[in-house]
């Protein structure tokens, strides 16, 4: 059963990409867990989202997805299901959820410092690069795009089910949202 779950989690996270299962967590000078980015342009502790290979394009965030600062769309209304990672993520549990990115908009998703040792995030259609700070470049819309919002697979790796905070920054605007990851947020 454990092996079946490991395979299911890896397939869900990678969505057919050439995954290596690489998890490369490090700790930055601020004490925040992070992973090295393949792009080389990120500051220490930050991973750049790879804009290549979105799994879908939509005209706007719909259903449980909510647009935040007109840069990202996240499911902040449902309670995400969690399962054991058995070594696939840097923490004990994993919750899969899509991240929508508004093409042409730049921003950052950051795990607050108080959560940095128990929560990591990873999105993109590649092997997961777990981090607590994800930079979203101004991804171009693919040619003949059917929408302005690009959809990427990924999710959360955490130690225990919780209502987790995420900080989103776009330009000079900042918002904090709470995501129900295995445990419902109150209020």
Counting Cβ atoms within 10 Å, is residue 120 exposed (0-12), middle (13-18) or buried (19+)? buried
Average pLDDT over all residues of the chain: 79
CB 75 within 8 A of CB 179: yes
Q: Does the residue 187 lie in any domain?
A: no
Q: What is the pLDDT of residues 116-157, one digit of tens each?
A: 999 999 999 888 899 999 999 999 987 776 789 999 999 999
Neighbours of 3 (CB within 10 A): 8
Distance CA 156, CA 133 (A): 12
**What is this structure's pTM?**
0.76
The count of structural domains within the chain is: 1
Q: Residue 11: helix, strand or coil by DSSP?
A: helix
pLDDT band at 44 (very low <50, low <70, confident <90, very high): low
pLDDT band at 45 (very low <50, low <70, confident <90, very high): confident
Expressed as residue numbers, the domain containing 169 is 2-181
Closest Cα to residue 64, out of 93, 98, 89, 87? Answer: 98
Average pLDDT over residues 58-86: 93
Q: Does the residue 15 lie in any domain?
A: yes
Q: Does the residue 140 lie in any domain?
A: yes
Q: Which two tokens stand for residue 38?
A: 């393949």
Q: Does the residue 51 lie in any domain?
A: yes
Q: Does the residue 64 lie in any domain?
A: yes
Q: Does the residue 83 lie in any domain?
A: yes
């Amino acid at each position: 059963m454990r092996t079946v779950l490991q395979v299911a989690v890896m397939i869900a996270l990678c969505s057919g990409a050439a995954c290596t299962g690489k998890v490369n967590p490090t700790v930055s000078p601020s004490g925040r867990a992070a992973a090295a980015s393949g792009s080389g342009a990120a500051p220490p502790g930050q991973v750049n989202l790879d804009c290549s290979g979105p799994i879908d394009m939509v005209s706007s965030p719909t259903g449980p997805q909510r647009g935040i600062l007109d840069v990202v769309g996240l499911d902040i209304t449902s309670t995400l299901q969690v399962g054991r990672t058995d070594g696939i993520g840097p923490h004990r549990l994993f919750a899969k959820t899509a991240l929508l990115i508004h093409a042409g908009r730049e921003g950052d998703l950051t795990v607050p410092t108080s959560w940095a040792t128990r929560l990591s995030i990873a999105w993109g259609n590649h092997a997961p690069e777990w981090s607590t700070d994800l930079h979203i470049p101004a991804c171009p819309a693919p040619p003949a795009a059917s929408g302005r919002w690009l959809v990427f697979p990924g999710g959360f790796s955490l130690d225990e089910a919780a209502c987790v905070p995420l900080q989103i920054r776009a330009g000079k605007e900042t918002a904090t949202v709470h995501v129900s990851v295995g445990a419902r947020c109150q209020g």
